[in-house]
Amino acid sequence: MNRLKRIDPREGIIIKDDTLDEAILYFIRYYPIKDLITDRKSWNIDVYTRTEIIHYTSDELFGVIVETGREPHYFGIVPVAEFQNNEEEVGDFETVISLIDAYDKMESNSLDDFDYFVDAYLCLFGLSADSDDIAEMKKNRVILLDQDSDAKWLTKDANVSQSTEIIKIRIDKDIHKFAGVPNMSDENFAGNASGVAIKYKTMPMENIVSVKERKFKKGLQQRLEILFNILALKGSVYDFRAIDMTFKRNLPTNETEIASMVSTLSGIVSEKTLLSQVPFVENVNQEMEQLKSEKEENVEEFYESPNFKNQSEEDDEGQEEDSSNPEEKKDKDKK
């Protein structure tokens, strides 16, 4: 049975041609195998082509490679779909690794400063004491001082801690700025913020997400092409490009503003377009069918209601009286 499997990109190499389509020619997967009995480590290497899978093994990653077998596949293309994060193929956090390390270091230093403050040294001036006297002071929490003696804690300057907090706040802001992701816990993201205000704050992240969306769509199309090639062997022919993909953002929305916009544009824009703007409507066509059926049910209920029947009977009786005495009607009209 064919299944989909996510492969760690650190265990795979994709080889493409030099055309504009960048078609995949080969896919090489290498992964370690460890013998639980002998504790011996070896490497398995699988090479996927358009027609078959070639298996190799090696005692070392860059050692002598020995072919162990081949098996055909019937996908028609290399059965791998690539999901790129961006053009550089790097993680979103990699651009701010140095800032994250700096923030972690500042946070660690802050904790060290707190430990130093808790375990601060007590300096006694003009006094001499042995270990028994110091233990007695700790136990009774009392220090007896002479007239010319003094006792003080040896601590760091408070301004150092304040400057550390300022640097931490600045680094935290730089991490979100350079990563393009806003700080959702920031006080600027108030619960009463309008949808337009939220969009402006999330615009850098939206630009990054739009790139991911294009890359992810390409990967999904590659996957569909692979699956449809198998269906074609069974006589079901489909075009993977005919499938429309919709991506929805997992962001807070102001439903009151959306409802107001839909109500304002009613009669100006098609009903299908308006329903597509409502965030909780998942299937627009199904929603339109449901609206149509509800309208038909309401019409049937109206015609079958007692009030409508009574009104219809009264109208029929009035029409019969008018048609039964045409001369009297003429007299009434003359009067």
DSSP 196-214: HHHHHHTHHHHHHHHHHHH
Same domain assignment for residues 125 and 141 = yes
Least confident of 36-40, 115-119, 213-217: 115-119
- Whole-angstrom distance, CA of residue 42 vs CA of residue 59: 5
85 occurs within a structural domain: no
Q: What pLDDT score was predicted for residue 118?
A: 65
104 occurs within a structural domain: yes
Boundary of a domain, candidates 177, 194, 209? 177
Boundary of a domain, candidates 159, 177, 195? 177
- Whole-angstrom distance, CA of residue 12 vs CA of residue 29: 4
21 occurs within a structural domain: yes
Strand pairing partners for 46?
A: 29, 55
Same domain assignment for residues 173 and 185 = no
Same domain assignment for residues 289 and 259 = yes
Inter-CA distances, 326 with 211, 291, 296, 313, Å: 80, 47, 40, 21
What is the mean predicted confidence (pLDDT) over 230-250?
84
Strand ranges of the sheet holding 65-72, from the earlier edge strand across to the other edge:
12-16, 24-34, 41-48, 52-58, 65-72
Mean of all residue pLDDT scores within the chain: 80
DSSP-derived secondary structure letter, 120: P
Q: Which percentage of the chain shows pLDDT scores above 70?
A: 79
Least confident of 45-59, 118-132, 309-323: 309-323
Which residue is associated with the tokens 């569909």? 224
290 occurs within a structural domain: yes
Specify the amino acid at residue 42. Answer: S
Same domain assignment for residues 170 and 126 = yes
Inter-CA distances, 175 with 22, 190, 212, Å: 34, 21, 20
- pLDDT at position 260 over 90: no
- Whole-angstrom distance, CA of residue 106 vs CA of residue 113: 10
Q: How confident is the model at residue 157 (pLDDT cuts 50, 70, 90)?
A: low
311 occurs within a structural domain: no
Q: What pLDDT score was predicted for residue 35?
A: 81
Same domain assignment for residues 101 and 170 = yes
Domain containing 288 equals 255-304
Same domain assignment for residues 111 and 40 = no
Q: What pLDDT score was predicted for residue 54?
A: 95
- Whole-angstrom distance, CA of residue 23 vs CA of residue 14: 10
Q: What pLDDT score was predicted for residue 320?
A: 53
Helices (H), the chain: 97-118, 131-140, 158-179, 195-201, 203-233, 255-265, 271-276, 284-304, 306-324, 326-334
Same domain assignment for residues 230 and 297 = no
What is the mean predicted confidence (pLDDT) over 214-228?
90
Same domain assignment for residues 115 and 159 = yes
316 occurs within a structural domain: no
| Exposed e or buried b per residue across 297-333, where buried means at least 16 C-beta atoms within 10 angstroms of its C-beta | eeeeeeeeeeeeeeeeeeeeeeeeeeeeeeeeeeeee
Strand pairing partners for 326?
A: none
211 occurs within a structural domain: yes
- For residues 33 and 12, the answer to whether their CB atoms sit within 8 Å is no
Boundary of a domain, candidates 136, 157, 177? 177
On whether the pTM is more than 0.85, the answer is no
- pLDDT at position 224 over 80: yes
DSSP-derived secondary structure letter, 322: H
How many structural domains compose the chain? 4
Q: Report strand pairing: 41-48 vs 52-58.
A: antiparallel
Name the most confidently modeled range: 52-61, 103-112, 290-299: 52-61
- Whole-angstrom distance, CA of residue 41 vs CA of residue 31: 10
Q: How confident is the model at residue 286 (pLDDT cuts 50, 70, 90)?
A: confident
- pLDDT at position 329 over 60: no
Q: How confident is the model at residue 21 (pLDDT cuts 50, 70, 90)?
A: confident
Same domain assignment for residues 269 and 227 = no
The pair of three-digit structure tokens given for residue 139, joined into one six-digit string: 């136990």
Same domain assignment for residues 99 and 171 = yes
Same domain assignment for residues 211 and 147 = no
Same domain assignment for residues 99 and 154 = yes
Determine the 3-state secondary structure of 269 from DSSP.
Answer: strand
Determine the 3-state secondary structure of 32 from DSSP.
Answer: strand
204 occurs within a structural domain: yes
Q: How confident is the model at residue 194 (pLDDT cuts 50, 70, 90)?
A: low
